[in-house]
Structure 1
Amino acid sequence: MLYCPKCYFYIIIIFSSIYFIIIYNNSNNTIIKRINDSRKRIGPHNKEIISIIYGSLLGDGHAEYRKQSNGTRISFSQESNHYKYLIWLHNIVSSHGYCNTTVPKIQSRIGDKGKIRYIIRFHTYTYSSFNEIHNKWYVNNKKTVPKDIKEFLTPIALAIWTINDGSRSGNSIKWSTNNFSYEDCMYLSYVIYDLYKIKTSVISAGKKDQYVIYVIKESIPILRDLIKDYIISEILYKLNY
């Protein structure tokens, strides 16, 4: 491509999935700009990374469609008190080559009523092949549980979901599935039992059309054994350690 307003020349060099634009100007300066083309990022994807994404989307994760690049990226975000968890997660995602290796830093944001929140987050690269994930998880702009959740609800996905949205409730654990429909919660409950024989119950969250999933006390040891290798020390209290 050649472009010359004010005598600037653009040369595009393509290496695999990365586009480089070399810009020459009248001062004989050279500027190199990299453009990532999501259409070149098509997989195939490692099952572990999809499991990590699915576990995150059950919790606070978000699949963001980016119209400009016609692709989707996955955003991972936590409050600053979960810093060690997000760094652990970032190490896994970056080691698979799905995001840059720059360690995320705590940032401040203005929340409700002007309250300052401290959060830490990072994003994957944008992939056109992640559009399929976006389409499965978001129906009419509402997050929903996809029908293939059974394939990717692995122990690491369960661990990430528990870290994100799990909390102690007496001698049990509940997953805060408030944003999912009753049908989605029942389907999750069925899949969890079918895969791991973990017994759960779907209970009203006390607000209209909001539900949470409780792990039956007798099934806590099963869940604990499944996910203990992925749980960092700061989260062990959720598993009655």
Structure 2
Amino acid sequence: MLEFVNLSKKKFSQISLSDSCKAILLGSLLGDGSLKIYKPYKNARFWIRHSISQKDYYNWKIKELKEISTKKSNQLQKPSGYSQKEKFLFQSAAKEQLTEIYNIIYRKNRLRIRRKWLNFLTPLSLAIWWLDDGSIIDNGRRGVFCTDGFSKKEHEVLKRYFYVVWKIEVHIGVLKRFYNGQHKNYFRLYLKNTSLKKLFRIIMPHIPISGYLMSSMLYKFCLLYKNTELQERWISEMVFGFPNCKENVIRETIQLRKTQLKNFQKMI
């Protein structure tokens, strides 16, 4: 972490929101959340959407964001042309503090990845980002952040940030897609098994896998191994990282993921 950098006098540190609220906001803005200023309001609102299947995670998140919420913040969004499933929608109050954050990390109504505000990410921020946009891939042993909306240059900033601040190596992958009649490159951040485990060790103690979150998001940390010894080692790390989660729940979730992966491989 930034042990030798004094961030206390920076503008972001002076924003009058709790540290946990700011950490969750930053992680969410990298993931599924957004800040917007709507006319005739002069201040920004924070938005976040989550699927019905992530109810526990959503409920925990909006509980932690109560200082920016109103009685009407929590809504259920009906199916639309883009999605045939209902979604949970959180819309915050329009607050001056959110406008201050908006002015730091947005340019021309678009989030811009810059090191000066990435320095304020905490382990909780990284945890939220992973829960929002992170996935385990490659037969359960590698990870990816779905960062399709960021430019190649912004990915380079993120790559260096991870290495300098957290000593985590990430790699930039290219996805070629055909969209609106033309080919376009999108980029994502990939983590090899060693780097992914390092990330998990940092963020697991900051995720309450109990209460609101319970075990519904546990699958996001289930690394899978054919080697029994390696699998047992990782189960032990999960038990240590999630002390409020019963070991049998962790084992059942890992077994379920293995079964799902096996069934998927049969289909392709």
TM-score above 0.5: yes
The answer to whether 1:181 aligns with 2:151 is yes
Amino acid at match of 2:108: N
The answer (yes or no) to whether the contact 1:55–1:156 under 8 Å persists in 2 is yes
Match of 2:44 in 1: 72
CA deviation map 1:146-166 (0-9, x unaligned): 332333211111111111111
Runs of 4+ in 1 over 4 A off after TM superposition: none
Q: 1:52 to 1:220 in 2, by over 3 A?
A: same
SS in 2 for 1:50: helix
SS in 1 for 2:115: coil
CA deviation map 1:162-207 (0-9, x unaligned): 1111111121110000000111111111112222111110111233
Match of 1:15 in 2: none
Amino acid at match of 2:193: K
Give the 5 Å matches for 1:46-195.
46-94=18-66, 97-100=67-70, 104-112=74-82, 116-170=84-138, 171-195=141-165
The answer (yes or no) to whether the contact 1:189–1:200 under 8 Å persists in 2 is yes
Q: 1:179 to 1:210 in 2, by over 3 A?
A: same
Give the 5 Å matches for 1:201-220.
201-207=171-177, 208-220=184-196
Amino acid at match of 1:212: R
Superposition deviation, residue 236 in structure 1: 2.1
**Structure with the higher strand share, 1 or 2:** 1
Q: Could you tell me how far apart the structure 2 residues matched to 1:101 and 1:157 are?
A: 25
SS in 2 for 1:164: helix
Provide the alpha-carbon RMSD of the alignment. Answer: 2.2
| Long gaps (5+) in structure 2 | 1-13, 178-183, 224-268
CA deviation map 1:96-141 (0-9, x unaligned): x2213678353313123xx523100212221123223223333233
Amino acid at match of 1:87: N
SS in 1 for 2:68: coil
Give the 5 Å matches for 1:17-28.
none
User: TM-score with structure 2 length normalisation?
Assistant: 0.67
The answer (yes or no) to whether the contact 1:111–1:117 under 8 Å persists in 2 is no
| Long gaps (5+) in structure 1 | 1-41
Amino acid at match of 1:236: L
Give the 5 Å matches for 1:217-228.
217-228=193-204
The answer (yes or no) to whether the contact 1:47–1:152 under 8 Å persists in 2 is no
The answer (yes or no) to whether the contact 1:77–1:121 under 8 Å persists in 2 is yes
Amino acid at match of 2:100: E
Amino acid at match of 2:218: L
**Structure with the higher helix share, 1 or 2:** 2
SS in 2 for 1:152: coil
Q: Could you tell me how far apart the structure 1 residues matched to 2:46 and 2:146 are?
A: 20
User: TM-score with structure 1 length normalisation?
Assistant: 0.74
Q: Could you tell me how far apart the structure 1 residues matched to 2:147 and 2:221 are?
A: 18
Match of 2:219 in 1: 237
CA deviation map 1:44-99 (0-9, x unaligned): 222322221111010110101133221001111111111111101011111xx221
Q: 1:213 to 1:142 in 2, by over 3 A?
A: same
